[in-house]
Amino acid sequence: MRNEEFISNGTTCRGVLYLPEHTDGPHPCIVMAHGFGLTHDSGLMPFKEAFVEAGYAVFAFDYRTFGSSDGTPRDVMNPFHQVDDYLAALAHARSTEEVDAARIALWGTSFAGGLVTVAAARDGQVQATISQCPMMDGLAATAGLIGYAGIGQGMRLSWHATVDAVRSIFGARRRYVGAAGKPGDLAMMTADDCYDGYVPILADNANNRVAAIVSMYLPFFRPVSKAHKVTAPALLLICEKDTVAPAKVAKKAAEKMPTAETRLYDIGHFDVYTGKGFEMSLKDQIEFLGRVLPVREAASAAPENAVPAASATGAA
């Protein structure tokens, strides 16, 4: 395990590189981050450990303004910036000696399931993507929020987003709302299962809050519109009872991807982090990686159209 730093749009982001001990490098690598308002320390260690045990290097990082990464004000969630952070993390992984630059997968869960879709579409060179319970359409997610919480909740969030936007212009203290809350709370996710699913996985360096302006960005962030550009093998793990990331849109995104595979689970959004849901999802991910990014293959030279290890592709 080694701490790493990279620059994204002029901001220092930080992550941790995990390396397998029982296989020779350079290793195939999984670049990963967490979902809505969370850090890579928030409940992802079982995934990291399983991937490393299977022979993969893992580079897990925090987005700017979150967790161990720099950036002020804190906890400002801009999905378009976070895509840039993924691409900068990808460029950093490619430049790392222990990583095979020609064999890298992007991994994202929840909101990050959409982020990796857009990042892969922009990069065009990653060898695989994994999107777990993915949020593929911010407009549909916003409509879903209004559906279960009511138009009044949507108006409250819009008001606080407007206040936050005005404050940001004048450099004033930002307005925050909860990332997850109980029904009726001022938070971005308030379905019945959100608070009890989200809070238990919060790491010490994660706050259950985001700058309110995120609700302005959300309807315009629509990974489903970029899905057709993801030509690498893609695995979408879809929760049929998802209250946060509409399963119907995730299926639609998969249909647009030339080489996508789906796995459907009769569970809720947060059930993939523990228990049987975690076991099913992880088993399917390891099987998928074994086929499309096998560890047993010797590291080979990058294909002619691959991004060179020293490339800054994805960095702002």
Report residues of the chain scoring pLDDT below 50.
297-316
Helix (H, G, I), strand (E, B) or coil at 207: coil
CA separation (Å) from 183 to 11, 34, 58?
A: 36, 23, 36
* pTM of structure: 0.91
pLDDT at position 302 is 43
In this predicted structure, what is the pLDDT of residue 310? 36
- Which pLDDT does position 24 carry in this prediction? 79
pLDDT of residue 296: 60
Is the CB of residue 261 less than 8 Å from the CB of residue 235?
yes
Q: Please report which residue ranges of 265-310 form alpha helices under DSSP H.
A: 275-292
HSE-CB for 207 with a 13 A CA cutoff: 14
User: Which pLDDT does position 25 carry in this prediction?
Assistant: 83
